[in-house]
Amino acid sequence: MICLIADVGGTNMRIAQTNGVDTQFTQDRTYPVTGYDNIDDVINQYCTDENINAVQHVCVAIACPINGDQVSMTNHTWSFSIEAVKKKLNLDSFLVINDFTAQAMCLPFLTDENKIQVGGDKADLSAPMAVYGPGTGLGVAHLIKANEKYIPLPGEGGHVDFASNDELEQKILNVLQSKYGHVSVERLVSGPGILEIYQAICHIKSVELSFSSPADITKHAVDGTCEYCKLTLDTFCRVMGSFGGNLALTTLTYGGVYIAGGIIPRFIEYFKNSDFRTQFEAKGRFTALNKKIPVFVITEKQPGLLGAAAYLTQNIEA
């Protein structure tokens, strides 16, 4: 039985092979989505490149909402019918899931080598888990275990209201409210959010803007060469901690709260020494509870493929 898994973003589509029995995958390749008219063209190209004559099952994790048969990508032109692609490729199963559903599904299968713990006790993988990931936006999902199966709970948690916890955060909130009206957590906890925090702080401090990219701001914060960049990254870490602690309380995530995406691993030592964990635990009467809940930074290079493999294993249609 040949099964394929894929992780589709606005720039690239990564494809690999799995056996449909466990989460191991091999022969992963990456294709630029702009080079192909349809998702099935990429799958066919992969089969040609790997000398595969027939595929039985495919699971695709894709960066857009999944509501019914028609799938339309948010950051690319692809739009397709799940059933039509299944028939065109002569598949037994064609499973399409949101990219953060895949992030959630990968959590129980991460090893100690592809995650870094930031405080808390040992994770109980039979208990609820949460994952959030700052990137272009802020993805959020939960995972629960029931009847020996893992069930992902997708959502749009990144768009809940941002709540300030100190005077500076309140001033930043005021600046962003004047700019946007509603201020979600995503406005701060994301790549663009780093720039938003920096610009707001410079406005509050009445200083000239010196940097215009999140990467530059992060670099000068870590190097200690700009006090306003450092204040920006410190604030970013604090807000991440407060929000992560909220996720922990929502479903009592004794299975852990996990941080996905490529931003945090770039400054992991700075992050570990920040006020992230302090703010994660600072929940008043429930501080003692949150102290027990572990946080992990995901360092697995292909969590989307790992999660797609896990989802496929549980949901193959006979």
- Range 209-215 average pLDDT: 95
Per-residue model confidence (pLDDT) at position 10:
81
User: What number is the average pLDDT over the span 277-293?
Assistant: 97
User: Do both 94 and 118 map to the same domain?
Assistant: no
pTM here?
0.92
Residue 103 within any structural domain of the chain: no
Same structural domain, 117 and 212: yes
Q: Can you give the CATH number for the domain in which 17 is found?
A: 3.30.420.40
Same domain, 84 and 133: no
Question: Looking at the structure, do residues 203 and 155 belong to the same domain, yes or no?
Answer: yes
How many domains are there within the chain?
A: 2
Q: Please report whether residue 241 resides in a domain.
A: yes
The Cα 250–Cα 162 span in angstroms is 16
Q: Where are the alpha helices (DSSP H) in the chain?
A: 39-49, 82-88, 99-106, 167-180, 191-205, 214-223, 227-251, 268-272, 276-281, 287-292, 303-315
Same domain, 226 and 309: no
For the segment 143-163, what is each residue's pLDDT rounded down to a tens digit?
Answer: 999 988 999 998 889 999 999
Answer yes or no: do 249 and 156 share one domain: yes
Residue 106 domain flag: no
**Domain harbouring 243, CATH code:** 3.40.367.20
- Say if CB 1 and CB 52 are below 8 A apart: no
- 105 inside domain: no
Tell me how far apart the alpha carbons of residues 115 and 298 are, in angstroms, rounded to a whole number.
4
10 and 131 housed in the same domain: no
Of residues 145, 156, 117, the one with CA closest to residue 298: 117
Task: Give the model confidence (pLDDT) of 76-120 as tens digits.
Answer: 889 999 999 999 999 999 999 999 999 999 999 999 999 999 999
Within this chain, do residues 293 and 308 fall inside the same structural domain, yes or no?
Answer: no
Same domain as 233, residue 116? yes
Q: Which amino acid is at 26?
A: T
Which residues form the domain of 195?
111-299
Same domain? 172 vs 224: yes
What is the rounded CA–CA span in Å between residue 113 and residue 296?
11
pLDDT at 75: 76
**Whether residue 169 sits in one domain with residue 49:** no
Across 27-46, average pLDDT: 93
Establish if 125 belongs to a structural domain. yes
37-79 per-position pLDDT tens digit: 999 999 999 999 999 998 999 999 998 888 899 998 877 889 9
- Does residue 104 belong to any structural domain of this protein? no
Q: Is residue 35 part of a domain?
A: yes
Does residue 213 surpass a pLDDT of 90? yes
Contact 241, 271 (CB under 8 A): no
Q: Are residues 238 and 120 in the same domain?
A: yes
Does residue 53 belong to any structural domain of this protein?
yes
Statement: residue 136 has pLDDT above 90: no
Q: Quickly count: other Cβ atoms within 10 Å of residue 148's Cβ.
A: 7
